[in-house]
Structure 1
């Protein structure tokens, strides 16, 4: 359906914001779309930042999926280097600089900001985060300094893991600190946290679990980190990788409904509680496809999907975002670690009666070079016999198997004799005739 005389303002030029802009313009070439963006660029592929710092490629512009000029050639108005500091929902106005602009529809796509802990010394030179293009350029340049030899990474989530690998490849001595008792507890079950820890230590990463950094010590620049037990570890730089918070500070004390962590609460259409106001991506909540509960899942895959839903609804083409199962994968040196659906603890917390299997097998035949160990865990609901979650570790080339399990979770098929015989690809360099998935399904089916 064509849109007449309707103006959409988008606050934020990240994946969600520019995804909405591009699809909305395709839905109606005559739509008026204005994007206010805090940075001088849009469409940053932030997931590639650790690989840029590591030197996998040299041109930072490779991280820009689409230039401002390319969007403008399609009739999308982009106002860069401009920060919206207030929104008047009643009068449909956004405030920036000393100006205002009015909208018919508003999309808040302000993304997330890294969590900066209230540590003494956090303002010292050589303390870094890795969220923006500027962060990546600054950190890459700093790590070329031969005087920076010892680096503390605080936080063992996906970015902390990727940065530990990156810094090790840059010949830095890395100390990885995690407050929890295991690696990435929100993503992986204990078995896989342990697999990751062993891999890190094998690659000479100093892993400190159940360890709280209480201070960053130095005069002008970082000299050490102080721990809760008052011990001190000398380092020359610190990378903060403690997760993200929704970038919604300007929306507090407004009528816009926010979750406890500050994420904008949206429904399955991307609508907020205010008419003609939408949000999505890292600034907003989403839903769990399995349980239906409201969650915060700052993943690029979620951001891109909700963008299409928002654009279609603005264009009067009804669409719904059905949720996510938080499928994710991370590479740590030569191995990959993947997860999808619910973890064991999460499934029990939701009240499911579960059965689990943990299988160790090989990823391909032994007579073709490159055979490696592969671990797979599957969590099944006993009542429905549906798969609730799965986790995997092994060679990077084997990680695509998790997508098969994600599809089985998504389709909610029961584990039975037919599923046990699922027809998977086979060739000696890729798999064995009886794949690890077959073995796991057979054990669940007993």
Structure 2
């Protein structure tokens, strides 16, 4: 008899979600090496001092209250044939079904000086505490490498703590994987208003110092003072213990089918350690987000409990905040979509409330469509108020293959404090513009309908 019906290696969002769904139905255990499971996206705000660091740590009761067992240990090796995992403690655990949820680890580029004290990634509880300790020690200068969401949030946090902070990225705009350049316009200025210096279109060649970081050298020869250097340039699947095991692993993670099965019988994988495809293109795609990991876990839970479900793929809705601007996107950017499709884009700009109301703030929308069939491929939103609800609306439209024509029929609500005038809607307005581009003959009809 095996120790567990389901043994999960890992303790992040995917693993914890799975435990919540199956813990009372199947004898389940999670093996997790970390002290805590973290709310990763909240960590920059702990660095800034807006949150106590303990607030970024999830309670273990999420697992134990579900009926699952939580084991604090590190898996060193897995025997798929014998269905047994061996841990650093010397203990072994057997399973009927194994779920791999080992997550991802940060990438530290192999540049000179990356081993110096003061050079770190920003992914774990230890990374967060290390950065907080450096800030509390009174450092004057920091360099953050990577202008994605984590990089821009952390750079603002450091600047708010009165650290002279420079954000470096090879891209010429911030948030290059989330927003097209037109939607990113003005965000650099907003970051500068937050006292973050920028070196866009730049690349680090070395970190210099005796035993600890003292300065960063860019490829163009510029030297930046830095006692703290943080790399936020992405992650890779944590799969080292499965090397040469027979488990099929692609460049970006463990290969699974739409039910989360691997190529080995009774072995599954979910979360950031997984390689999967875009729900739009059908091609292998990056998608290391908690908001992808959690739906994977739900799909697997249903399949383990006998209710067959399939995972549709990554759509990658995400959002962030720069100064007073909230920004988000989902699906393909126009730059990315243009590599595969003949695209058109449309836009709309209204306000978050009736313009006559005192709280009205501007909101801008961009949608990207396939010219061939009018299918929505992605969208981006900017506003002075939170945008995740609008990003999620676009994600659902992309997920279900809606077209510009479909969006014309979108049924929406309106209220003076919460929307633009009832005669107009942001999505519908952008869809109208797209339809005019797709079929110029309808331009007159749409113009007449607006009058």
State if a TM-score over 0.5 links the two structures: yes
SS in 1 for 2:206: strand
2:19–2:66 CA contact under 8 A, matched in 1: no
Q: Give 1:307's aligned residue.
A: 297
SS in 2 for 1:318: coil
CA distance in 2 between counterparts of 1:143 and 1:396 reads 30
Alignment of 1:184-195 (within 5 A): 184-195=175-186
| Shift in Å, 1:70 | 5.4
Q: Give 2:441's aligned residue.
A: none
| Shift in Å, 1:376 | 1.5
Alignment of 1:83-94 (within 5 A): 83-94=74-85
Q: Give 2:307's aligned residue.
A: 317
Choose from 23, 27, 35 the match for 1:32: 27
Q: Give 1:165's aligned residue.
A: 156
CA distance in 2 between counterparts of 1:361 and 1:201 reads 26
Matched, 1:424 2:424: no
**Structure 1 211/419 Cα, relative in aligned 2: closer, same or farther at 3 Å?**
closer
SS in 2 for 1:445: helix
Alignment of 1:347-386 (within 5 A): 347-350=337-340, 352-386=341-375
| Shift in Å, 1:73 | 4.8
1:330–1:338 CA contact under 8 A, matched in 2: yes
| Shift in Å, 1:142 | 2.2
1:177–1:212 CA contact under 8 A, matched in 2: yes
Q: Give 1:48's aligned residue.
A: 42
**Structure 1 256/441 Cα, relative in aligned 2: closer, same or farther at 3 Å?**
same
| Shift in Å, 1:109 | 0.6
CA distance in 1 between counterparts of 2:142 and 2:203 reads 16
1:105–1:314 CA contact under 8 A, matched in 2: no
Provide Cα deviations, 1:162-206, integer angstroms capped at 9, x if missing partner.
Answer: 111111221222100102333232222121233432322333321
CA distance in 2 between counterparts of 1:108 and 1:325 reads 22
CA distance in 2 between counterparts of 1:421 and 1:323 reads 26
SS in 2 for 1:371: coil
Provide Cα deviations, 1:262-299, integer angstroms capped at 9, x if missing partner.
Answer: x0111110101111111111111233222222223011
| Shift in Å, 1:311 | 2.0
2:29–2:70 CA contact under 8 A, matched in 1: yes
Count of residues in Structure 1 that have an aligned counterpart in Structure 2: 433
CA distance in 1 between counterparts of 2:305 and 2:290 reads 23
**Structure 1 52/270 Cα, relative in aligned 2: closer, same or farther at 3 Å?**
same
Q: Which moved more, 1:292-301 or 1:423-432?
A: 423-432
Matched, 1:64 2:62: no
1:284–1:296 CA contact under 8 A, matched in 2: no
**Structure 1 396/286 Cα, relative in aligned 2: closer, same or farther at 3 Å?**
farther
Q: Which moved more, 1:193-202 or 1:154-163?
A: 193-202
**Structure 1 5/168 Cα, relative in aligned 2: closer, same or farther at 3 Å?**
closer
Choose from 353, 363, 378 the match for 1:389: 378
Alignment of 1:121-160 (within 5 A): 121-146=113-138, 148-160=139-151
1:372–1:394 CA contact under 8 A, matched in 2: yes
1:331–1:396 CA contact under 8 A, matched in 2: no
**Structure 1 38/366 Cα, relative in aligned 2: closer, same or farther at 3 Å?**
same
1:393–1:399 CA contact under 8 A, matched in 2: no
| Shift in Å, 1:260 | 1.6
| Shift in Å, 1:220 | 2.8
Q: TM-score, normalised by structure 1?
A: 0.91
Provide Cα deviations, 1:3-61, integer angstroms capped at 9, x if missing partner.
Answer: x98622111111111222221124x1xx22122111123x4211111111111222x33
Structure 1's unaligned 5+ residue stretches are: none
